[in-house]
Amino acid sequence: MDSKYIYCSPRISAELHKKGEKVSRSYVEGLMKKHGIRSKVKKKFRVATDSSHSYRIAENLLKRDLSADSLS
C-alpha cells in the first residue's frame, strides 16, 4: 500500500476490507498507536499576506537598504 503517510485508520481499514480482511477501525487505530504510526494531516492553503492593502507603509527608521541587486 503506497500511502505516502496520509492514510488514517478509517481509510486503512476500508482498504483492508476491499482486500477481504475483516478488521475494525478501532483495531487498526490500536495497532497504529502501538507501533507509533500517525498519518500526516494536509493543511488547507491559507493566504497570509494582503499585498493590496491601503495601509500606510512604516518609515525606515533604521535606514537599512533592503533592495536586491539581482534575482538569486
Tell me, yes or no, whether 11 lies in a domain: yes
Does residue 53 belong to any structural domain of this protein? Answer: no
Q: Is residue 9 domain-resident?
A: yes
Instruction: Output the nine-digit C-alpha cell for 62.
Output: 533604521
Domain count, the chain: 1
Q: HSE (CB half, 13 Å, CA atoms) of 35?
A: 9
Q: Is residue 7 part of a domain?
A: yes
Each residue of 26-51: pLDDT tens digit? 999 999 899 988 888 778 888 888 77
22 part of a folded domain: yes
The whole-model pTM stands at 0.50
DSSP secondary structure code for residue 66 in this structure: -
pLDDT computed for residue 25 by the predictor = 92
Provide the residue range defining the domain that includes 28. 1-41
Predicted confidence at residue 20, as pLDDT, reads 94
Residue 52 burial by Cβ neighbours in a 10 Å radius (0-12, 13-18, 19+): exposed
